[in-house]
Amino acid sequence: MFSVKQKIKNSLIKLQEYLHVDTLYLARGGFWLTAAFFLSSILGLVQVIVFANFLPKETYGTYKYILSLAGAFSFLTLTGMNDAVAQATAKSGSSSILSYAVKIQLKWNFIFSAVLTGLSVYYFLNSNNLLAKCLFVLGITFPLATTFNTYGAFLTGKKDFKRGSIYGTISSSIQIISLITVALLTNDIFTLVITYALSILGPTLFFYFRTLKLHKSEIILEEKQKTELLTYTGHLSFMHVLSGIAQYVDKLVIFHYLGAIELAVYGLALAIPERIRGYVKNLGVMIMPKLAEKTFEDIHKSFYKRVFQGMLIGTLMSATYILLSPIFYKIFLPKYLDAITFSQVFSLTLIFALPANYISGIFSAHKMVRPLYYSSLGASIIKITLYIVLGRLYGIWGVIASILIVYIVNIIHNFYLLETEIRKHRT
């Protein structure tokens, strides 16, 4: 056993010399992220298959619309807190950051609850009881879940990827199994929504308090640390206002102009590529603490090599998906064969996913506020505009074209922003 481990370690060291990447660090963290990804992906695929085969298209589309409508108001919460906590924890190592961050979010996130409660009353007065009930439930549970899930960002900052991955896998497993069970028993949309909400909130609360217990700290944060955390959170949250809306506008546009059935087709077209992009995003989260330790000069030396490597990996992932997806849909999603081509074209976004996460990781790790603003706001404005214009004109194809255009434009823009910042630091 020892010799096998040593051989693997030696191989990683040799690979590190060739790639100039801390492969031992990636292997330690990447193993847990990969294991968590595969376990949650298998369950996620089962959920997709069950929803696609047991729920009517209109039911599934309406369910997606309700979650998207509530999600579009997520900008009213402190959406930048998790990134700020991960960065602050990676820098200082303080365990007091977690409880302080949660306390601040509990005070702030009630705004989301108030707005969704008001929206719920509006729909109730207009005799739309389904939307009224669903938005009321999400208005209570969503801000609590987004507050207490900060434990994940804290564990990332601590580089405790093993614990974070285990907690995340258990949480997602509970949520997915709960939703699968309900979908097999009923087509009732409200039951699906309340199951979704509670199956997220319950495990999140449990693992938050467990993390808090494991990382007890009697040290109170200094005022300077609090100010830095809140300032950076404020910047990130403000940037996320438009990006938070943009994240859901595509679903709202498709539902509004095309209806629930087309939204169901669109949702199933994105389901698998989005899960792959989620794994890529997790890798970006994992490298952020390492980027925080590096100077701009160190980053710049290997920057273009990293981007090329990321695009190469993304191209291989996209090509593999394009080849295999028709087989998967024909076997498991026969009701959604019209989603295959949409899904294949959307998978081209995987080519840009790793470089995009790498660059945004550099910006976040070094608190590069100006480029973060320009990148986030610029991409969000273009995305929302294109969604509305192209989505109305060309339907699902217009929305997918918008996503690809935004990815390409944003990565070119981010190249320019990063080079500008590096030149500034040199002078």
Question: How confident is residue 315, by pLDDT bands cut at 50, 70 and 90?
Answer: very high
Question: How confident is residue 10, by pLDDT bands cut at 50, 70 and 90?
Answer: low
Whether 403 has a pLDDT exceeding 80, the answer reads: yes
Whether 398 has a pLDDT exceeding 90, the answer reads: yes
Outline where 294-349 has alpha helix (H). 296-332, 340-346
Among 8, 141, 166, CA closest to 77: 141
Q: Would you tell me the crossing angle of helices 110-125 and 129-148 to the nearest 10 degrees?
A: 170
- Note the pLDDT tens digit of each residue in 169-210: 999 999 999 999 999 999 999 999 999 999 999 999 999 999
What is the pLDDT of the chain when averaged over all its residues? Answer: 87
Structure tokens at 187: 């087509």
- Note the pLDDT tens digit of each residue in 51-107: 999 999 999 999 999 999 999 999 999 999 998 999 888 877 777 899 999 999 999
Structure tokens at 191: 């039951």
The CA-based diameter of the chain, rounded to the nearest angstrom, is: 70
Structure tokens at 262: 């087309």
Q: Express as a percent the part of the chain with pLDDT over 70.
A: 87
More confident residue, 286 or 359: 359
Report the alpha-carbon distance of residue 290 to residue 285 in Å, rounded.
10
* Residue 243 C-beta-side C-alpha neighbours within 13 Å: 18
Number of neighbouring beta carbons within 10 Å of residue 164: 27
Question: How confident is residue 8, by pLDDT bands cut at 50, 70 and 90?
Answer: very low
Whether 147 has a pLDDT exceeding 80, the answer reads: yes
Question: How confident is residue 1, by pLDDT bands cut at 50, 70 and 90?
Answer: very low
Number of neighbouring beta carbons within 10 Å of residue 71: 17
Q: What pTM does this model have?
A: 0.84
Whether 336 has a pLDDT exceeding 60, the answer reads: yes
Range with lowest mean pLDDT among 28-37, 59-68, 111-120, 369-378 = 28-37
What's the Cα-to-Cα distance from 293 to each of 209, 305, 315, 330, rounded to whole Å? 29, 19, 29, 47
Task: Assess contact for 198 and 141: CB atoms under 8 A.
Answer: yes
Number of neighbouring beta carbons within 10 Å of residue 277: 22
More confident residue, 302 or 205: 205
What is the reported pLDDT for 30?
Answer: 56
What is the reported pLDDT for 39?
Answer: 82
Number of neighbouring beta carbons within 10 Å of residue 310: 22
What is the arithmetic mean of pLDDT over 357-384? 84
More confident residue, 260 or 15: 260
What's the Cα-to-Cα distance from 309 to each of 23, 208, 280, rounded to whole Å? 14, 36, 13
What is the reported pLDDT for 358?
Answer: 85
